[in-house]
Structure 1
Amino acid sequence: MNQTAQELLRDVERQLEPKSDENRLVPSISDGRAPRAVLAALACEQHRIITSDWRSFLYLAARSPHPSAGGFFTTLAQGEVLALEALSGFAEACGVGGRALEDYAPRAGCQAYPSYLAWLALNAEPSDVVLAVVANFRAWGNYCRTVSKALREHYGFGDSGCAFFDFFAAPAPDLERQALAVIQSAIDAGRGTARAFEYGRLLQRYELMFWNTLAEPS
C-alpha cells in the first residue's frame, strides 16, 4: 500500500536528518567562537545563493505540469525575494554591503547547493524536487534558529541583523501544506517520487558542504 504524502515526507526527513556532529560551523557560531569575518563570508555566499535559487524556483514553476506544483515553486521564489531583503540587514551588521557583496569571490564548496538546485530545475521531475526541497527545510530551519539566537547573545546583533535567520527559522505550515498536496497528487497519479530521496540526500550533503566550507580557513 502506498504511503500518504505526509508519511513519505516524514520518512524522508528521518532518513536525511544530519547527525549532530556533521555541521562544524553552526556549533562555533552557537557559542560565539566563529570570527566575524566568517559571518561576513556567510552573508556574501548567501547573497549569491539566494539570487540563484530565485531563478531556479521560477524555472521549476514554469516547468511544472500542474498548477499546484507551480504555485509551490512560485511561493518559494517569492520567499527568496523577502530573504534577500532581510539579508541586507545581516550583511550590514557584518560590515559588508554594496560593492563588497558584488566583488566577493565565492567558494566552490559553498556554491555547490545552488548549482545542484539549478541542475534539478533543468532535469528533475518537479514533484520529486518538491519532496527533496521540503525534506531539507527542517535541518535548515534548525540551523537558522540556532544562528539567530547566537547572533543576539554573542555578537550583539539586533533584530535587523538577525531578520534573515528569523525568516527561515519560523515555521511555515502553509508552505508544507502546499508541498504535501503536490506530493499526494504525484503519488495518486503514479508520477514522480522515485528519485526524490536521491535528490534530497544530495541537497542535504551540499548544504553541509556549505557550512563546513565556511568553517575551514579561507
Structure 2
Amino acid sequence: MDAQRLLDEIRAAAAPGPNPLVDAVAAGRAPLTAVAALAAEEQLIIPSDRRSFLILASRADDPEFFISLAQGEDLVLPLAGRLAAATGVDLSDYQPRAGCQGYAAYVAWLALHADPAEAALALVANFAAWGEYCRALAAGLRANYGFDDAACAFLDFFATPAPELEAQALRAATGKPLPTAHRYARLLHEFETTFWRTLAGY
C-alpha cells in the first residue's frame, strides 16, 4: 500500500470523537483547573517530545519532518506558559498524571524502537484530531472565559493547518515498508484519548 493511501486510512480511524473537556469548555462549565492542568501537562510533554523528535531525526533517512516538529516544540513551549498564566491557577505544586503523560512516553518509545518512516506517518495521522480539539477549545475559552489571543496562542498554533508537515512525512514514508504504522497510529490515538479524559477529571 502506498504511503498516501495508508495515511488516509489511518487518519479516518483516528477521526476526532467526543471530547469531554472540549465539550465542557464549549458549554462554559469546565473548571479553570482543568485548563491549567492541560497547560501544566504540556509544559512537561513538549520538552520530552522535542527530544524524541531529535532522536528520530538522527535515525531517519529523511530527517526533515522530525526537525520541523522539534523546531515547532521550541516555538510552542512559551505559549503553554501563557495559557497556564491566563487561568490564574497556582501550579507550583502541580503533579502530572500518568494518563496525560502516556502519549509522550509512547512517543519516546517510538523514538527508540520504531522505524522513523512509520513513526512519521503515525504521528502526522493524529495531527488533524489534535488540531480540531485545540481549535474548539480555543473558541470555547474565548467565548465563555474571556481568554484573549495571547492566552489562546498555544491552542491556535496547533489549530492552524500545516500541510507542509504532511508533505514531509509522506516524503519520508514513500517507498518504505510500513507494516506497523497503523498500529503506532492507533496507540497514539488511544493515548491522546486518555490524555483528554484524564484532564476532564480535574
Correspondence for 1:126 among 95, 107, 116 = 116
Displacement after TM superposition at 1:16 (Å): 2.4
Q: TM-score, normalised by structure 1?
A: 0.88
Matched residue type, 1:165: L
Displacement after TM superposition at 1:51 (Å): 1.1
Aligned-residue identity in percent: 50
The answer to whether the 8 Å contact 2:32/2:89 transfers is no
CA distance in structure 1 between the aligned counterparts of 2:97 and 2:182, rounded to whole angstroms? 26
Q: Which residue in 2 is equivalent to 1:76?
A: 69
CA distance in structure 2 between the aligned counterparts of 1:149 and 1:134, rounded to whole angstroms? 23
Unaligned runs of at least 5 residues, structure 1? none
The answer to whether the 8 Å contact 2:14/2:129 transfers is no
Q: Which residue in 2 is equivalent to 1:26?
A: 22
Instruction: Give CA-to-partner distance per residue, 1:68-93, whole Å, 9 cap, x none.
Output: 2x111011000011110221211110
Q: Which residue in 2 is equivalent to 1:206?
A: 191
- Pairs aligned (count): 202
CA distance in structure 1 between the aligned counterparts of 2:89 and 2:53, rounded to whole angstroms? 27
Partner SS for 1:25? helix
**Does the alignment pair 1:15 with 2:10?**
no
CA distance in structure 1 between the aligned counterparts of 2:71 and 2:101, rounded to whole angstroms? 21
CA distance in structure 1 between the aligned counterparts of 2:28 and 2:141, rounded to whole angstroms? 8
Instruction: Give CA-to-partner distance per residue, 1:13-60, whole Å, 9 cap, x none.
Output: 112224x33x22111112211001111111101111111101110111
Q: Which residue in 2 is equivalent to 1:55?
A: 51
Displacement after TM superposition at 1:96 (Å): 5.0
CA distance in structure 1 between the aligned counterparts of 2:149 and 2:57, rounded to whole angstroms? 32
Q: Which residue in 1 is equivalent to 2:171?
A: 181
Partner SS for 1:185? coil
Q: Cα 1:135–1:184, aligned 2, differ >3 Å: closer, same or farther?
A: same
The answer to whether the 8 Å contact 2:82/2:150 transfers is yes
**Does the alignment pair 1:117 with 2:107?**
yes
**Does the alignment pair 1:153 with 2:143?**
yes
Q: TM-score, normalised by structure 2?
A: 0.95
Instruction: Give CA-to-partner distance per residue, 1:79-127, whole Å, 9 cap, x none.
Output: 0111102212111101258xx36x4210110100000110110111001
Following TM superposition, the consecutive aligned residue runs of length 4 or more in structure 1 with deviations greater than 3 angstroms are: none
RMSD (CA atoms): 1.4
Partner SS for 1:75? helix
Matched residue type, 1:14: A
Unaligned runs of at least 5 residues, structure 2? none
Matched residue type, 2:6: L
Matched residue type, 2:183: E
CA distance in structure 2 between the aligned counterparts of 1:78 and 1:133, rounded to whole angstroms? 15
**Does the alignment pair 1:43 with 2:39?**
yes
